[in-house]
Amino acid sequence: MHHTNDPNLKSFIPVPEGSHFPIQNLPYGVFRRGNSPKRIGVAIGHYVLDLSVLEEAGFFSDLGRDVFSHSNINPFLGLGWRAWRKAREIISRLLREDEPALRDNTKIREKAIIPINQVEMQLPVDIGDYTDFYSSKEHATNVGTMFRGKENALLPNWLHLPVAYHGRSSSIVVSGTNLHRPRGQAKPDNQNRPEFGPSHLMDFELEMGFFTGNGNPMGVPISIDKAQNHIFGMVLLNDWSSRDIQKWEYQPLGPFLSKNFGTSISPWIVTLDALEPFRVPGPIQEIEPLPYLRSGGNRAYDIQLEVFLQGKNMDKPHSISVSNLKYMYWDIFQQLAHHTITGCNVRPGDLMASGTISGPAKENYGSLLELTWRGAKPIPFPNGETRKFLEDNDTVIFSGWCQGNGYRVGFGEVKGKLLPAIKESL
């Protein structure tokens, strides 16, 4: 175990019990305070540590260049895993309760440590390309069963490779950003022609995403054994979906308008170094993958996930699903190795999404499509309402965390409200 993951470490900044952001975490984000420029920080308890202040004071001179004075973390991502680890070591040391360098420097401390409720979180990365995988066997089986029957639930390629499609990065938004119900073509089962209008079958998809680091030259794949060195960290991700638009458009090339109107991510990127103590064995792969996809050891992460839904007439969010990233059949290292096996070059700040994360039991399903089984089994709520799919002004919240010995490494939350469709066009 790396010393920054020591469960006995304590910060001089108070961290409440159960906080997602103890000293063992130190996730990266970008924030704005009032009208000031965007700044890069890490979360610690109920505070944000402004890394640009620490960089100006010379604490990151070992990195060899200024990387925290920018409006996003892309330059830092481009430095690679050795710089990421060095920065984590420096930040961890500065925050330790027995380290005076920051603790006893009142001038720097007052500039660098800001209450988290006084800042507005921003997208942490200037996202280049976005790829969405389809890597949960339970989810793929559920959806395949609904639309093709149990015998043909998984298509022939699914157990041999991580299926994916390229998504739209311009509509990726940070938690707290509300989205409008999309309009598009859909064909009801009882009609011969499609109709145009607001989607009637709006859904969420419980996913996680990872950001790539320094990448690879075009033509040179990233091997499964080196993939970890090219993944900076992970976020929670809601890949909002229109099921009726998707059903009509997805054959033969897959989702398009049913996904491109918005994808939400949590603001804090939890690094792989922080997640290292929570690696666990992944599911047994039924068919041995081809050599470039074979990986040994603990290739999954024990990240507990929960979905909450709150309608406009509900007094609080209600939990409707619990799942775990460890259920994923294809892991993040296989996903990156497969993505680049052709020589495709990934760049600092590219985002890869896991695909919907479903588990073996109904309460582990990661979408309303599965939880209500295409609307046939509506979810009841305490106020008497039910849901088959999302209604206007419904708020969806994902939370995720890893449980350590006396501490929790968490992702905070990704939250968004579905607003009514906009009828006007530019």
| Same-domain pairing of 317 and 168 | yes
| Same-domain pairing of 116 and 137 | no
pLDDT at 47: 98
Residue 424 lies in a domain: no
pLDDT at 295: 86
State the pLDDT confidence band at 39, using cuts at 50, 70 and 90.
Answer: very high
pLDDT at 53: 97
| Same-domain pairing of 56 and 166 | no
| Same-domain pairing of 281 and 399 | yes
pLDDT at 280: 98
139 flagged as catalytic: yes
Rounded distance, CA 388 to CA 406, Å?
Answer: 39
Worst-scoring range by mean pLDDT, 26-35, 118-127, 144-153? Answer: 144-153
pLDDT at 65: 79
| Same-domain pairing of 289 and 202 | yes
State the pLDDT confidence band at 296, using cuts at 50, 70 and 90.
Answer: confident
Residue 182 lies in a domain: yes
Contact 357, 321 (CB under 8 A): no
CATH number, domain of 79, equals 2.30.30.230
Residue 405 lies in a domain: yes
| Same-domain pairing of 376 and 411 | yes
> Would you call 85 exposed, middle or buried from its count of C-beta atoms within 10 A (0-12, 13-18, 19+)?
middle
| Same-domain pairing of 63 and 169 | no
| Same-domain pairing of 158 and 67 | no
- Pairing between strand 270-271 and 231-238? antiparallel
Angular region, 259: left φ>0, alpha ψ -120 to 50, beta rest? alpha
Single residue among 55, 87, 122 that ends a domain in this structure: 122
CATH number, domain of 195, equals 3.90.850.10
Rounded distance, CA 260 to CA 243, Å?
Answer: 13
| Same-domain pairing of 108 and 181 | no
Residue 425 lies in a domain: no
1 pLDDT higher than 80? no
Single residue among 122, 139, 157 that ends a domain in this structure: 122
Mean pLDDT of 269-273: 98
| Same-domain pairing of 151 and 281 | yes
Single residue among 91, 122, 153 that ends a domain in this structure: 122
Task: Annotate 9-64 with DSSP letters as a single string.
Answer: --BSS---TT-S--TTT--EEEEE-TTSPPEEEEEETTEEEEHHHHHHTTTTGGGS
Q: Which two tokens stand for residue 144?
A: 């395949």
Q: b/e per residue, 216-234, with b = 16+ CB within 10 A?
A: beeeebbbbeebbbbbbbb
Kindly report the average pLDDT of the chain as a whole number: 97
Domain range for 348 is 130-419
| Same-domain pairing of 412 and 338 | yes
**In this predicted model, what pLDDT tens digit does every residue of 61-107 receive, in sequence order?**
999 879 999 999 999 999 999 999 999 999 999 999 999 999 999 99
Residue 426 lies in a domain: no
Question: What is the tally of structural domains in the chain?
Answer: 2
Considering 2, 46, 139, 160, which one is annotated as catalytic? Answer: 139
| Same-domain pairing of 136 and 110 | no
Mean pLDDT of 131-146: 97
Mean pLDDT of 305-332: 98
Q: Which two tokens stand for residue 143?
A: 């959806």
Mean pLDDT of 323-352: 98
Residue 28 lies in a domain: yes
Specify the 3-state DSSP secondary structure of 231.
strand
Residue with token string 């470039």: 292
Residue 371 lies in a domain: yes
pLDDT at 426: 82
Q: How many beta carbons lie within 10 A of that of residue 256, not counting itself?
A: 15
Mean pLDDT of 41-59: 97
**In this predicted model, what pLDDT tens digit does every residue of 188-209 receive, in sequence order?**
989 999 999 999 999 999 999 9
